[in-house]
Structure 1
Amino acid sequence: MSVHLVTGAGSGIGAAVAGRLLERGDELWLLARDAGRARELAGRFPGAKTLVGDLAEPARLSWALGHQSPPDRLDSLLHVAGVVELGPVGDLTPKIWQETLAVNLIGPAELTRLLLPQLRLSRGHVVMVNSGAGLSASPEWSAYAASKHGLKALADSLRGEEHANGVRVTTVYPGRTATPMQQKVHRQEGAAYDASRWIDPASVATAVLTALDLPRDAELTDLTVRPGH
C-alpha cells in the first residue's frame, strides 16, 4: 500500500486526487490549515488521516508537524493547494504578494524540506500542481504567475538535487479547470463562468496518477494539460 500526503484536498483538483487515491486503497494523509478543516476533511474522506499545518505560515510548519506524528515513510507528496488574487501590479499590495507567495511557493518548499527524509526512505515522488501561469504571465496575473514560476524553479532544482536519492519530481501545468478557484477568477475578471468550458478536475487527477504510476525506469518531469475544446 502506497502512502500519500495531499494538500488542497478540500475542493477541486486536490479533492479529485484524494478521492482517487482513497478509492484504490492507498493510505492517504491530508494537510489541513486548522483543526476545523481537518475534521471536515476526515468526514469527507473516511479512512484518511490528517495533519494540521497552515501553508500561509511557512515558518510555523516545522513547529506544527513537530507536535504531530507524520507518516514514517511517504511514497508521494502532492502539492495541490493554491490561492489566487488578480490585479495590476500598480494595485497589488505587499500583503497580497506575501500571502500568494507563502501558500503557492514558500509553504510547498518548507513542507517538502520537512518531509524529504520520508520521501528519500521510500524513493518517493513529489508532484507540484502548477498552472499555465507557471509558464507564461498575463496582465493582472503577476503575483500568481510569479509564485507559479517560482514553483517550477523549485521543482526543477529539487529534481536535480534528489535524483541520486531516487526521488522523482513532476510538475503538472493544468489550463483553466472547473474549480472554485476558477469561479473566483471569473468573478475577478468580470466574466460569466461556465464549468463545461473548462477541464474537469478528474482529468487533471488522471494526469497526476499517471505520473505517480509510471514504472521506475522512467520519470514524467513536466505535464501540460489543456482544455480539449
Structure 2
Amino acid sequence: MSRAIVTGAAGAIGSSICRGLASRGYDIVAIDVDDVGLAALADTSPSRISPYRCDLTDPAERNELVAMVGADCDLLVHVAGVVVTTPFEMVSDAEVDRELGVNLLAPVHLTRALYPTLQRSRGHIVAIVSIGGMLPLGESPGYSASKFGLRGFLLALAARSRETGVRVSIVNPGSVDTPMLRHEASSGGSPLNFLSTPLRPQQVADRVFRVVERPRVETNMPRSDGWMVKTGMLVPGPTLGALPWIARLARRNLERYRARHGLGSSVD
C-alpha cells in the first residue's frame, strides 16, 4: 500500500490531487492550516484521506508531522503556496518571512526531514512550482524569489536521483483559477498571470497524476508558455525591458477575468 503526503491539501489544487491519488489507491496524509477545508476533503474519502492540521513554517509542528509519518512515505507532493501583492517598497518583514517560509523554506525543511524515508522507499517528490519560477514578476518579487529558489532546490535534488533513488518532478503551471489568483487579480498582482487563459485546478492535478505514473523532471503548463519564458530568459535584459509592454497586452484579459468574477475594475 502506498502513502502520500500532500501539503496545501485543502486548497483547490491540493484537494483535487488528494482525491485523485486516493482513487488510485494511495493513503493520503492531507496537510493544511485550514481545518474546515481539511474536514470537507476528508469526508470525500474517509478511508483514504487523513487530515492533519500543520503550519509547516513552525518547526515544532513540522517535527510532530515528521514523527507521525515515521518511515512510511512513498510520495511527497508540495502544493502549499502564498503570494504577497503589497508593493515591495511597502512590504513588511512578516509578509516577506511568510511568503519565503511557505513557498521555499517549508518544502526544503520537510523534504530534508523526510528524505531518508523517501530514500528507503525509493520514493518520489512532486512539487507545484510555477512559470513564475522562471519569469520574474515585478509586482511579486518575494514570490519570484521563493519559486526560483524552490525550482533550483528541486533540480539540485534531481541531479542526484540516480545516486539516491529519489525521483523528483516539477510541475510549472501558469496562472490557475483559484482563490489565490482572484486575490492577485483584485489586489495588484501581476497582469502577466493573464497572458493565457487560467488553468483549471483539475488540469494541474491531472498533470501531477501523469508525472506520478511516468516521472519526468520538469513539466510546464501550458507547454507554449514554458518555451516562451525559457527562450526569453536567454536574454534577460531585453526580455525585462519588454515586460511592461507585454503586461499591457495581458491587462485586457485581466479586466475580463475581473468582470467575470465580480472583482471590480483595476486602478492604474
TM tier, smaller: 0.7 to 0.9
Distance 1:62 1:85, change over 3 A: closer
Offset of 1:37 from its aligned partner?
5.9
The Cα offsets for residues 18-63 of structure 1, whole Å up to 9 and x where unpaired, read as 1111122221111133766654543344221233321232x22443
- Residues 1:64 and 1:71: Cα distance change in structure 2 (over 3 Å): closer
Amino acid at match of 2:100: L
After TM superposition, the structure 1 stretch with the greater mean CA deviation from structure 2, 176-185 or 27-36, is 27-36
Equivalences for 1:90-105 in 2 at 5 Å? 90-105=89-104
**Amino acid of the structure 2 residue aligned with 1:87:** T
Deviation at 1:208, TM superposition (A): 0.8
Structure 2 counterpart of 1:85:
84
After superposition, the C-alpha distances for 1:138-194 in whole angstroms (9 at most, x for unaligned) are 211101111111111110122224431210011111001111111111111388xx9
For residue 220 of structure 1, the aligned residue among 216, 223, 233 is: 216
Aligned to 2:69, the other structure's residue is in SS state coil
Match of 1:158 in 2: 157
What do residues 112-140 of structure 1 show as CA deviations (whole Å, max 9, x unaligned)? 11111221111111011011111111211
Query: Hey, what does 1:51 align to over in structure 2?
Result: 52
Contact 2:13 2:204 in 1 (8 A): yes
- RMSD of Structure 2 on Structure 1 (CA): 2.6
Distance change >3 Å, CA 204–CA 37, structure 1 → 2: closer
- TM-score relative to the length of structure 1: 0.86
SS at match of 2:159: helix
Any gaps of 5 or more consecutive residues in structure 2? 225-252, 254-268
Is the CA contact 1:88–1:139 (under 8 Å) kept in the aligned structure 2?
no
Q: Partner residue of 1:198?
A: 198
Flag the structure with larger Rg: 2
Q: Output aligned runs, 1:15-164, within 5 Å.
A: 15-33=15-33, 38-47=38-47, 48-57=49-58, 59-65=59-65, 69-70=68-69, 72-164=71-163
The 2-side partners of 1:34 and 1:197 are apart by 28
Counterparts of 2:36 and 2:15, CA distance in 1: 17
Q: 1-side partners of 2:201 and 2:19: how far apart?
A: 11
2:11–2:37 contact (8 Å) kept in structure 1: no
- Contact 1:197–1:227 (Cα < 8 Å) also in 2: no
Q: 1:107: Cα distance to partner?
A: 0.6
Conserved? CA contact 2:19–2:44, under 8 Å? no
Provide the C-alpha distance between the structure 2 equivalents of 1:65 and 1:197, rounded to a whole number of angstroms: 37
- Aligned equivalents of 1:12, 1:36: Cα separation in 2: 13
Would you say how many aligned residue pairs link Structure 1 and Structure 2? 221
Paired residue type of 1:50: P
More helix by share: 2
| Identical-pair percentage | 31
Separation of aligned partners in 1, 2:197 and 2:27: 33
Q: Which structure has the higher relative contact order (CA within 8 Å, separation 6+)?
A: 1
Q: Would the aligned equivalents of 1:86 and 1:143 in 2 still touch at CA under 8 Å?
A: no
Q: TM-score, normalised by structure 2?
A: 0.74
Q: Partner of 1:202: helix, strand, or coil?
A: helix
Q: Structure 2 vs 1, CA of residues 45 and 103 (structure 1 numbering), >3 Å: closer, same or farther?
A: farther
Q: CA deviation at 1:227?
A: 8.8
In the other structure, the counterpart of 1:174 is: 173
Structure 2 Cα separation of the partners of residues 198 and 156 of structure 1: 26
